[in-house]
Structure 1
Amino acid sequence: METTRDLLDAVLESPVKEVGAWLDRLTIGEPVGGERFNWEVFAFTAAARAGEERSLPWARIALRVYEGLVNRSPVRIAHSFWLSGMNLRARLIAELGAQAGDSVLDPEIIAAWFQRVATLSVEEAVRLSSSTDLRTVPHDKLLALRDIKNALNILAQIAETDVVRKHPELCGWLELRSQLP
C-alpha cells in the first residue's frame, strides 16, 4: 500500500481529469483507502498548481476541496479555508480576467463572501479602529476587524474589475483597509 505522501504525490502528478474523477469517489476530509489523507496540503498544493499553471480545472479542484473542508470545520478554521479559496479566485481573476457566471472567475462570488465576512458596519469599524487603546476594544470586535481586513486584502486584488462599480458600498471599506488593525 502506498504511504500518504506517495498517494498525495501520485494524485498531484495525475492529469486533472483523473483527479476530478478520483475526487468523485471520495468524501473530502475522510481517509483515503483506509489511510489518513492530508486534505489541507492537497488543497493548498492544487491551488498552488492552479496559480502557477493558470489552470481553471486545478482551481476548481482546489476550491472543491476547500469548500468540502469548510463544511467539516469549526468556524475559525473554516474561515481560514474560505480565505485560501477566495485568495485563489482573486489571483486568477487578476491574471485571467473576470468572467461573470464562472465558478472561479466571477468577482461577485468574492463580493458576496466579503459582505458575509463584514459583520460590522463601516461606521462601527471606523469607530472601533479609531480607538486610542485597542486593548479596550472587545476581543470579538477586534477579531471581526481583523477578519474584515484580511477579506479586504483579497477584495483589493480585484478592485479594478466592475465589482466595485456594481457595489459602491465597497469603496468605503477599501478606503478603510489600511486603518484596520
Structure 2
Amino acid sequence: MATTRDLLDATLEWSLADVKKWLDGLIIGEAVEGDAFNWDVFAFTIAARARREQSPDWAYIALRVYEALARNPPSGADAHTYKLSEMNLRAGLISELGEREGDPVLDSEPIVAWIQRLTTISLEEASRWLALVEEDFRAVPVEKLRVLRRIKHGLNTLAHALPQTKAEQKHPELTPWLQLRTRLP
C-alpha cells in the first residue's frame, strides 16, 4: 500500500477526470484507504492550480473539498478558515475571469450569502463596538472582536471580486458594510 504522502503526490498528478472519479468514491475529510490523508494540503494545492491555470473546473474540485471541510472540520480546525479559503478562491477567479451568474464557481451569490451569515450583529451594533475598539480595544470582548474580524474577512473577499460583479447593485444593504470595512479590526 502507498504511503499517505505517496497518495497525495499521486493524486496531484492525476487528470481532472481521474480526481473527480477518485473523490466520488470518498468521504472528504476522512481517512483514505485506512490512512490519514492531508485534505488541507490537497485542497490548497488544487486551489493554487485552479488559480494558476485560471480553471473553474479545478476550482470546483477545491471548492468541493473546502465546503466539506467547513461542514465537518478536522479536530482543532476552524470551519471559518475553510470557508474563507473557499470564498477567496471564488473571488480570485471572479476577478480574473468575470462573474457568471448561476455558475458553481464564478457566481458571487455564494460570497454574498456567506457575508450575510457572518453579519450576526447589526450595522449599528458593529459601529458601537468599532467605536470602543478605536478607543481601547481591550474593552471589547474577544468574541465581539472575532465577529468583527470575520465580517471584515468576508467584506475583503467580496471587495476583491466586486469590480467584476453586480453584487452591490443586487444587494445595496452591503454598501454601508463595505464602507465600514476598512475601519474594522
TM-score normalised by length of structure 1 = 0.96
Aligned residue for 2:72?
Answer: 72
Unpaired runs of 5+ residues, structure 2, are none
Q: SS of the counterpart of 2:124?
A: helix
Superposition map of 1:19-168 within 5 A: 19-73=19-73, 77-131=78-132, 132-160=135-163, 161-168=165-172
- What is the Cα deviation at residue 121 of structure 1? 1.2
CA distance in 2, matches of 1:140, 1:37: 32
| Aligned residue pair count | 181
More displaced 10-residue stretch of structure 1: 74-83 or 147-156: 74-83
Q: Which amino acid aligns with 1:179?
A: R
Q: Structure 1, residues 90-109: CA drift from partner, whole Å, max 9, x if none?
A: 00000011001011101111
Change (3 A) 1:110 1:38: same
Unpaired runs of 5+ residues, structure 1, are none
- What is the Cα deviation at residue 50 of structure 1? 0.5
Q: SS of the counterpart of 1:145?
A: helix
Q: Structure 1, residues 23-81: CA drift from partner, whole Å, max 9, x if none?
A: 00111111111111101110111111110111111111101111111121279711110
CA distance in 2, matches of 1:76, 1:151: 19
TM-score normalised by length of structure 2 = 0.94
